[in-house]
Chains A and B, each alone.
Chain A
Amino acid sequence: MGNSLLNRIGIPRLIISLFLAFLVASAFSYGLPMGQIFGAMLTRFGMNALLVLAMIPTIQAGAGPNFGLPFGIICGLIGATLAIELDLRDFTALFFAIGVSVPLGAFAGWLYGLLLNRVKGQEMTVGTYMGFSIVSLMCIFWLMAPYTSPEMVWPYGGDGLRVTVVLDGRMEQLLDKLWSFTIGTVRIPTGLLVVTAICCVLLWIFMKTRTGLAMSIVGSNPRFAEASGLNVNKYRLIASVISCAMGAAGIVIYSQSYGFIQLYQAPLYMALYSVSAILIGGASLQRATITQALIGTFLFNALLVIALPVANVAMDSDISEIMRVIISNGIILYALTRKEVGGDAR
């Protein structure tokens, strides 16, 4: 009984939760401004949620977590930079950015999906390196592309776009501030959370449609799916398209909340952080739910938000980045070494 409860919660989720509780307790005892910290947790949660939700389609379709997320992210960055290049502001800019990046991301996802169907069983390794390559290829693009907006190119005749583009006055925190209110000292980024909720509902509805259900069957048992007349490759392709499109929209939402567009090498490890978030939430490399994605996003980001001030007070050094690296990669290693229960027998 106790064992099954432990299995249901999952050891990593348990450890991370306890660690988080410990950090929250110590933050209280150090007298840190908890209102700000909880507010930041909510913001970081909303910022990252869509990028983590993007993992669900490919996991469910049996292609593993989408390590090729940078394909989508790159498209989102193109959309966001185009919006600034055209001198758009506020919601026009945001909608334009998302409107451009989603179809681009879907197209990139389609190409990436074609690749994934040819490397079954090795999606993670191939995806990681293809992601790395597209990010470094796009570095050349950011350097050479004929952008002219003075907010984005280096001043004094430097080459190409800046490493970080400031969104101040463009779409900085647009969703975060929408309908935002404060309870006590906690600022609730209502708009951001509402958008996250809408995305969850849409994804949930999609997973319940014929296509969504077929996708899950393809993932859980490809042979059975094939036998019952489902085109395995087609559903894997759809999953990749949706995942990359979500990644594209996700990075736009991430950037508006962060207040900066980060170019060049910045998207390199973003897929890894999203993968680890969903795994922390209790997902495996073969099965994932929306709840797991949300729990994982919250736990992972809450931990990072609170670790920084606590570590600063407690040990006078910045350990939070180190912690992020250890936790995120540690959880992926854990998932990789787990026995694949009910995994497909390819």
Chain B
Amino acid sequence: MKLIQKNIVPIVFIILCTIGFQYSGLSWIFFANDLMTRLARNSFLVISLIIPVLAGMGLNFGIVLGAMAGQFAAFITVVHNLTGIGGFFAACVMAIPFAILFGWLTGILFNKAKGKEMITGLILGFFANGIYQLVCLIFIGWLIPISNKALLLPSGVGFVNTLDLKIWQYAIDKFYVFRARGIDIPVLKYLNNINIPVLTLTIVVLLCIAVVLLFRTKLGQDFRAVGQNRHIAEIAGIKVDRVRIIAVIFSTVLAAWGQLIFLQNIGNVQVYGSHVQVGTFAVAALLIGGATVSKATIGQALLGTVLFHALFIVSPLAGKNLMGSAQVGEYFRVFIAYGVIGIALALHAWQRLVKKQ
């Protein structure tokens, strides 16, 4: 009983997904393949949220800036035509300085708005999006010369809406694809014929291990200490502000890489749209996995990614079959994303208030 109570959120969503799957009429193979693709391309972004949560800064809506850093790096590879797996890793390396800079600035801002990090991160995401548009739409081609005119709008200023990333699409996803065949064991036979992007998943697993190891280091312990109680950490001689900035930088760099993994799977970048919802969707996925504002594990991040995206796959078709309109399903999943975040934040604030009294 206690187990159910503890995991009520994921359980509700498992039920919701099962019902949705039934009504969607999708075949298992299609569903499972789609889910595998989505798990591979989105889990990195979700995991990037964990460190700030444990450092007591709540859900880092500011990972939108990380996604922007990733996209800037992607633009550079497109302009200089860096192709294949080399191009992808070049983008990952080039994203680091951008992400460190953005993460550092975000961290400073969060330190000035302690206790209000989440709303600050959210508004910061909107604000940064304005600056980003200013750079991509006005500065590119005007202050920042681009030799390849095909990438620019007809006026010669600003990027076109969609930049093709065929040069390194599937760079890691299709590096080695494993496909199980002929498994006869009853439960496991559902795993037949699913394309598994081995390298991408390996990278995700390595990241998970790295995060676990990080929390065993001195720095990781500092994160936890700051997360549990800032004042006690301060007295214990931890430079709280500095540790918090480092946590945000970690998160931002990981988000930049996460966005690049996402883009290499999609194969193009919506210059003015790909990054906008990154924060909301990643946060919603983490919360659906059962995490809270102050507690998150890697397992929750992965489970949440699976459930959130399962809902994403089935809801348009389920909406169409149940309500006669695919649009309903689309709106429903957006509502779920916002609603889950809203309820989770409300419950957390409520519990904290009750505890205080």
Contacts and interface: CB of A to CB of B under 8 A. Distances in A.
A317 B142 CA distance: 12
A122 B338 contact: no
A326 B350 CA distance: 32
Nearest to A118: B350
Contacts of A329: 123-124, 126-127, 130
Contacts of A120: 349, 353
A140 B134 contact: no
Interface in B297-346: 323-325, 327-328, 331-332, 334-335, 338-339, 341-342, 345-346
A143 B328 CA distance: 7
B296 to A, nearest CB: 17
A125 interface: yes
B119 interface: yes
Contact of B345 (A126, A144, A322): A126
A337 interface: yes
Interface in B236-289: none
Contacts of A323: 130
A330 B127 contact: yes
A312 to B, nearest CB: 13
A132 B123 CA distance: 14
B131 interface: yes
Contact of B137 (A122, A140, A143, A317): A317
A144 B119 contact: no
Contact of A336 (B113, B131, B352): B113
Contacts of A326: 127, 130-131, 134
Interface in A305-346: 315-317, 319, 322-323, 325-326, 329-330, 332-333, 336-337
A129 B133 CA distance: 24
Interface residues of B, number: 43
Interface in B97-142: 109, 112-113, 115-116, 118-120, 122-124, 126-127, 129-131, 133-134, 137-138
A96 to B, nearest CB: 28
B335 A139 contact: yes
A124 B349 CA distance: 11
A130 B127 CA distance: 20
B109 A129 contact: no
A119 interface: yes
Contacts of B217: none
B5 interface: no
Nearest to B350: A118
B184 to A, nearest CB: 44
A322 B325 contact: no
Nearest to B326: A159
Nearest to B122: A128
Nearest to B330: A139
Contacts, number: 122
A121 interface: yes
B327 A133 contact: no
Contact of B331 (A121, A126, A140): A140
A319 B133 CA distance: 9
A200 B238 CA distance: 51
Nearest to B325: A159
Interface residues of A, number: 37
A330 B109 CA distance: 12
A118 B346 contact: yes
Contacts of B325: 143-144, 159-160
B148 interface: no
B345 A143 contact: no
A336 B338 CA distance: 22
Given A118-B346, A272-B126, A124 B331 contact: no
B155 interface: yes
- Residue of A115, A125, A317, A330 contacting most chain B CB atoms (<10 Å): A125
B158 interface: yes
A136 interface: yes
A118 B115 CA distance: 17
A137 interface: yes
B346 A115 contact: yes
A9 B353 CA distance: 36
Contact of B335 (A115, A119, A140, A332): A140
Given A315-B138, A322-B133, A322-B138, A133 B335 contact: yes
A101 to B, nearest CB: 22
- Residue of B325, B331, B350 contacting most chain A CB atoms (<10 Å): B331
A81 B134 CA distance: 37
Contacts of A325: 126-127, 129-130, 133
Contact of A137 (B120, B137, B339): B339
B165 interface: no
Contacts of B335: 133, 136-137, 139-140
B63 interface: no
Nearest to B110: A337
A154 to B, nearest CB: 11
B152 interface: no
Contacts of B130: 322-323, 325-326, 329-330
B157 interface: yes
A125 B119 contact: yes
B345 A332 contact: no
- Residue of B324, B345, B352 contacting most chain A CB atoms (<10 Å): B345
B134 to A, nearest CB: 5
Contacts of B348: 122
Contacts of B109: 333, 337
A132 B157 CA distance: 33
Contacts of B131: 326
A136 B331 contact: yes
Top 10 nearest A-B pairs by Cβ distance?
A325-B130, A129-B342, A122-B349, A119-B349, A329-B127, A326-B130, A337-B112, A133-B338, A132-B338, A136-B335
19 contacts: A119-B350, A120-B353, A125-B349, A126-B342, A126-B346, A129-B342, A140-B328, A143-B325, A144-B325, A160-B327, A272-B123, A315-B138, A319-B138, A325-B126, A325-B129, A330-B127, A333-B124, A336-B123, A337-B109
